[in-house]
Structure 1
């Protein structure tokens, strides 16, 4: 097996080398890319802060596959297993409701001490941490409004929660020696057409200004804001629209988050990346797979994923981009979902890096669109899979579908018994 992988890689390297592509350099570059795995795939967005709560804010998880994590230790073990099967060194994206504490505390009073176990684990494993305020599934969000709420007292609660989240993120960055990206998304909006679209946006702008009032060194915390076209319960109007956050982020020097499921079903984000990064310093990507709506399916290597990867590589935008995943599929093995989505994202980036980008740009400038089309199409069948297999092998992770056998073993020995144990939480 090892000789086959090596031989296939050597032959692929020769083919790519004919076009001036440094395959070893590509793999070294790929190894530096960190994908942020979203913790909420592991437990169907339940969290640990208030286990009696119901999902709200337009968020829904379908499926009841057994074995979802019911404790912080279980979730960390599942993430460890996923990381064993994914080449590279990556990050974990936490929501505020995943605080690991026995203390009874509400969202507005969260502090770094409530996440010390997460930091100790990440430090020991060499992972980075990202963070998100949880502005949903709470009694103060039951009417669908948080930072833009007309009640000043409710707005204050959410402002305080978001401010606390930034301090937690700063703590992550200081302790782990790498920036924590803190992404702010709110569900605020109306199911039917509102009379006044402006006032909620004025309130949101003022709330955000208060949230971000205290400067935090970006070597510790990077603030991002995330838009959405519509949601369940906010089909007709979303306060934090794409246009609102574009204007806010540019005028306040913040990072914007493009979620691949948060736009019109026929709209893609790949064509937006270079436009934003002409004006914004950084970009946060939430890679998901919408099916007719923001349904957060596990990422597959579809055309849009490949186009996102190509845009990042061809425009030399990777150094300005933070990549995270955002899907929650409760219908399949929770660990397998992470592995499939992350490996596909990395494979798409590898495919993009293994294109003769400089040559393609040259012939495009020359107006030779025939050669441009021909080369782009021919490279779709070049042996990137042999390079991927070699990368996995050299990284000490399973090659091709070999990882699935380990997930199935873990499922039998660890995940399924959780559903049978007394007092366990079943997905």
Structure 2
């Protein structure tokens, strides 16, 4: 049986439970997912030298790390060729591209420092999302940025945030796609603090000052991202879940951003997505795989990944949830890491689109819970792989593991010479 024949057979099986697989494939082709540039160079960026600081750490030393903007773009291109679906580019501010002999500190960054990224994105029909970089910089004073009691330090980082607002609007105007600008800081304390409220009041004021910068709210979507704790701030994190949710709720146009690695191991973001969609017109999501807390492993087609995608689809949130990948594994081929993660999230979305959510909802509402359990279990062995293969064929990318042959060739011919 050919792949096309297998698809037609699978299509009939799904049709029996009320699913139009052609429509599911067509829908998924229009759902943008942001691909994070920082997987390709272990979050190093181009505006500083030395190790990562500020609660960020990439582990591993696999050969072939991108060292220049061009190498990073080449590596992303290699990955993009192997990924089905619609993409956006996700940048950190530390990836500014300076002309030879030029440098601008983070509070002085301008749109022109990202012109090459705009050119890259436009040539590939991609929008751009953006993140101010509040780490790995000499002006992170005593581990603090926007919550610092030192006003000069705080002003530097506020000015950086304002610069990023202007750059985000530039991205949106140049690409014709709204830019999601995410604010995350690693501020906190390793041991028990004497003042928990003061840093949060300073952080609140800092974000408000950043958002006072004039921008078109249809073009720029500012977010605040929470975290439980980080490296070196195990006892207290300024930007907690309660803080960021409350800030977004009380500031029009500001979105909450959930990273599913930023919670207690027994918490699941799949349960939080429908809760937030009850109140927020739009939310943002960073998708990772937290083996141990925020360990930023490559996204796989695992249970929680599938549940997050299911909740987005069944809550009719595909137009309300801004989705972006966020992980950095330096222990494996970095281009393969991009490809596996993106394809895994696409599989999860396709699985969600091929789930008879209305029928399952009726079973729940009618208290036919035994039948609901059985149906949910039966769906796990439906031939999604044949639907996935058809989706990949229509997108012009490899449908099976043969894509890894391209990665191996690229590693042998390019990465091993770095």
TM range (shorter): over 0.9
User: For the Cα contact (< 8 Å) 2:165–2:213, is it kept in 1?
Assistant: no
> Structure 2 matches for 1:165-244, cutoff 5 A?
165-244=164-243
Paired residue for 1:163? 162
CA contact (8 A) 1:163 1:212 kept: yes
Q: Which residue of 2 aligns with 1:129?
A: 128
CA contact (8 A) 1:57 1:142 kept: no
The corresponding residue for 1:91 is 88
What is aligned with 1:408? 408
Q: How many angstroms apart in 2 are the aligned matches of 1:202 and 1:209?
A: 11
Which stretch has the larger CA shift, 361-370 or 173-182? 361-370
Aligned to 1:379: 379
For residue 414 of structure 2, give the secondary structure of its aligned residue in structure 1: helix
| Number of residue pairs aligned between Structure 1 and Structure 2 | 415
Whether the 8 Å contact between 2:134 and 2:157 is mirrored in structure 1 is yes
Report the Cα offset of residue 232 of structure 1.
0.5
Match of 2:275 in 1: 275
Specify the SS of the correspondent of 2:130.
Answer: strand
**Partner SS state of residue 319, structure 2:** helix
Pairing 1:106-125 to 2, within 5 Å after superposition: 106-125=105-124
Post-superposition Cα deviations, 1:164-206, rounded to whole Å, max 9, x if no partner, equal 0011010000000001110010010000011110111111111
What are the equivalent positions in structure 2 for 1:10-409 lying under 5 Å apart? Answer: 10-50=8-48, 52-102=49-99, 103-253=102-252, 254-409=254-409
For residues 142 and 64 of structure 1, the distance between their equivalents in structure 2, rounded to whole angstroms, comes to: 29
> What's the secondary structure of 2:2's corresponding residue?
helix
Whole-angstrom distance in 2 between the partners of 1:353 and 1:218: 30
Structure 1 segments of 4 or more deviating over 6 A?
none
Contact 2:47 2:95 (C-alpha < 8 Å) held by counterparts: yes
Gaps in structure 1 of 5+ consecutive residues: 419-427
Deviation at 1:53, TM superposition (A): 3.3
Q: State how far apart, in whole Å, the 2-side matches of 1:109 and 1:264 are.
A: 37
SS where residue 37 of structure 1 aligns?
Answer: strand
Q: Give 1:218 shift.
A: 3.0
Measure, in 2, the Cα distance between the counterparts of 1:215 and 1:111: 15
TM-score normalised over the length of structure 2: 0.98
Contact 1:67/1:415 (<8 A) preserved: yes
Instruction: Work out whether residues 305 and 345 of structure 1, in 8 Å CA contact, stay in contact via their aligned partners in 2.
Output: yes
- Report how far residue 338 of structure 1 moved: 0.4
Equivalent residues of 1:288, 1:326 under 8 A apart: yes
- Greater alpha carbon shift after TM alignment, 156-165 vs 309-318: 309-318
Q: Distance in 2 between matches of 1:376 and 1:296?
A: 29
| RMSD value, Cα | 0.9
TM-score relative to the length of structure 1: 0.96
Unaligned residue ranges in structure 2 (runs of 5+): none
Determine the C-alpha separation between the residues in 2 that align with 1:37 and 1:145. Answer: 28
**SS of equivalent residue, structure 2 residue 392:** helix
In 2, the alpha carbon distance for the partners of 1:200 and 1:231 equals: 16
Residues 270 and 308, structure 1, Cα contact 8 Å, conserved in 2: yes
CA distance in structure 2 between the aligned counterparts of 1:393 and 1:92, rounded to whole angstroms: 23
Tell whether the 8 Å contact from 1:178 to 1:219 is kept in structure 2 after alignment: no
Q: Does the CA contact (< 8 Å) of 1:56 and 1:142 recur in 2?
A: no
Q: CA deviation at 1:215?
A: 3.9
Task: Report how far residue 292 of structure 1 moved.
Answer: 1.8
Q: Secondary structure at the match of 1:182?
A: strand
**Corresponding residue for residue 417 of structure 2:** 417
